[in-house]
């Protein structure tokens, strides 16, 4: 009896310790020879940095010879289990899912996040206006409504605009309902409905098969979207008629945290073609090169993504103000014709997110 009481107290102690350091929805499952710690950590982009952080926070805990295992959550959904230390990956078992289902509390165990997220568009090279930019600061949040279901919304504060004729009044930031789930181990589904970045609104569905201990992954991305514009306090939308559907295969090279991704299908603006990406993951930063060939044309470009400094700004028991965990920028050599264009959702796409959980990356 006292033994179980002690275990219960330790579980609660771990939950509090990690929660106070910024981790959320921390659930501790004590088994005969393992201690499994479920957590979500929205401040870091790379899940292995979060686990490294948890390792340090729990360094002086006694586990009585039990093995410590982490089960990171993304958008309120468990991804897989990783042994602390060597980050050995195992898919979730039925018992883990059942435990999480019973303990998961999407309302209570999260802070209310305010996230600062700059939205920058630029066009270079016109002789009369060489450097046209549009800079908005987005202050947004994600509220969990039910398991895996969240609402992302916020305000968009225009700062500078020499790019187009949109006025500088306060706007609604991209606002969408998002559902993320892993119905079977390795099968991930993300569905978003609402207004997105890149002036699009509509429905977006993503599926990805990614066993996180395998170098291969496959995905389908599709959406039906329309043009969406806010100006002078008014909403303006065009028909929901642009079909986007691409399939891709990705392979992780056995060195330098490099991945190669080939995508083909119908991109935004009904542009049929293919795109090849080479992506290097450094941890906080990703840098990628790409080339695409479509009906509209061909281009080369690069992209990078990184967490904005400093990360956490203010944190209380129930509130947090932080900078975005992922700022992404893509530059294409021909920056006028929309070759192999995608729209940005306002959250990383499944391929970009799951790449951060591949167990080889943590080693």
Partner 1 sequence: MFQGNVPMGCFLKVLPLNLTPCIFNNLRAGLTSFMDVNLSIAHRPLLSDKIGVGDRQLDFRFRLLKEARFRPSVVLGITPPGSVSPVLSHDYLVATKNINTSIGTFRITGGYGTPYLIMRRNDKHNFWQELKLEEKAEFRSGNNYLIGFFGGITYLPVDFGGVMIEYNTTTINAGAFVKLWDWLHLQAYAYEGKKAAFTIAANSPLNFKPNTLRKHEKSLE
| Contacting residues toward partner 1, per CB under 8 A | 21-22, 43-46, 49, 52-53, 56-57, 124-131, 255-256, 258, 278, 280, 282-285, 287, 289, 293, 297-298, 300, 302, 307, 309-312, 333
The three-class DSSP label of residue 84 is: coil
Residue by residue, DSSP assigns 49-79 as HHHHHHHHHTTT---TTPEEEEEEEETTEE-
Shortest distance, position 248 Cβ to partner 1, whole Å? 21
Shortest distance, position 5 Cβ to partner 1, whole Å? 30
Tokens of 231: 């100006």
Residue nearer to partner 1 on the CB measure, 124 or 235: 124
Sheet strands (E) in 129-172? 131-146, 149-161, 171-172
Residues 268/292, Cβ–Cβ less than 8 Å: no
Shortest distance, position 297 Cβ to partner 1, whole Å? 7
Shortest distance, position 124 Cβ to partner 1, whole Å? 5
Residue nearer to partner 1 on the CB measure, 186 or 291: 291
Q: Given the DSSP bridges, would you call strands 81-83 and 77-78 parallel, antiparallel or unpaired? A: unpaired
Tokens of 147: 């398991």
Element (H, E) at 123: strand 112-124
Residue nearer to partner 1 on the CB measure, 59 or 232: 59
Shortest distance, position 238 Cβ to partner 1, whole Å? 27
Q: How many helices (H) and strands (E) does the chain have?
A: 4, 23
Kindly report whether the peptide bond that precedes residue 293 is cis, defined as omega within 30 degrees of 0.
no
Residue nearer to partner 1 on the CB measure, 103 or 337: 337
Shortest distance, position 309 Cβ to partner 1, whole Å? 6
Residue 265 Ramachandran class (φ > 0 left, ψ -120 to 50 alpha, else beta)? left
Residue nearer to partner 1 on the CB measure, 229 or 304: 304
Residue nearer to partner 1 on the CB measure, 197 or 302: 302
């Amino acid at each position: 009896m006292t033994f179980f009481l002690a275990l219960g107290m330790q579980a609660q102690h771990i939950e509090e310790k990690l929660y106070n350091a910024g981790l959320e929805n921390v659930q501790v499952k004590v088994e005969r020879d393992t201690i499994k710690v479920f957590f979500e950590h929205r401040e870091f982009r790379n899940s292995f940095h979060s686990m490294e952080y948890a390792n340090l926070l729990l360094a002086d805990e006694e586990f009585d010879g039990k093995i410590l295992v982490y089960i990171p959550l993304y958008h309120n959904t468990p991804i897989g289990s990783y042994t602390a230390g060597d980050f050995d990956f195992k898919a979730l078992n039925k018992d883990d899912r059942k435990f999480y289902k019973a303990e998961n509390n999407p309302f209570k165990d999260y802070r209310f996040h305010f996230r600062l997220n700059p939205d920058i568009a630029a066009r270079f090279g016109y002789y009369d206006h060489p450097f046209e930019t549009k800079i908005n600061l987005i202050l947004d949040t994600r509220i969990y409504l039910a398991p895996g279901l969240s609402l992302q919304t916020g305000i968009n504060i225009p700062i500078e605009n020499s790019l187009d004729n949109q006025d500088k009044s306060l706007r609604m930031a991209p606002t969408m309902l998002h559902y993320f789930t892993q119905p079977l181990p390795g099968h991930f589904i993300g569905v978003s409905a609402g207004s997105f970045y890149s002036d699009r609104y509509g429905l977006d569905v993503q599926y990805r098969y990614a066993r996180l201990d395998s170098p291969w992954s496959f995905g389908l991305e599709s959406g039906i979207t329309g043009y969406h514009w806010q100006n002078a306090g008014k909403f303006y939308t065009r028909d929901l008629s642009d079909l986007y559907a691409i399939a891709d295969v990705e392979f992780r090279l056995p060195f330098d945290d490099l991945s190669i991704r080939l995508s083909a299908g119908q991109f935004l603006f009904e542009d049929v073609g293919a795109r090849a990406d080479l992506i290097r993951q450094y941890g906080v930063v990703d840098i990628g090169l790409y080339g695409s060939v479509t009906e509209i044309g061909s281009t080369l470009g690069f992209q990078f993504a990184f967490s904005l400094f400093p990360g956490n700004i203010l944190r209380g028991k129930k509130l947090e103000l932080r900078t975005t965990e992922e700022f992404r920028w893509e530059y294409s050599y021909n920056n006028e014709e929309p070759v192999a264009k995608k729209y940005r959702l306002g959250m990383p796409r499944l391929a970009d997110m799951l790449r951060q959980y591949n167990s080889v990356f943590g080693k």
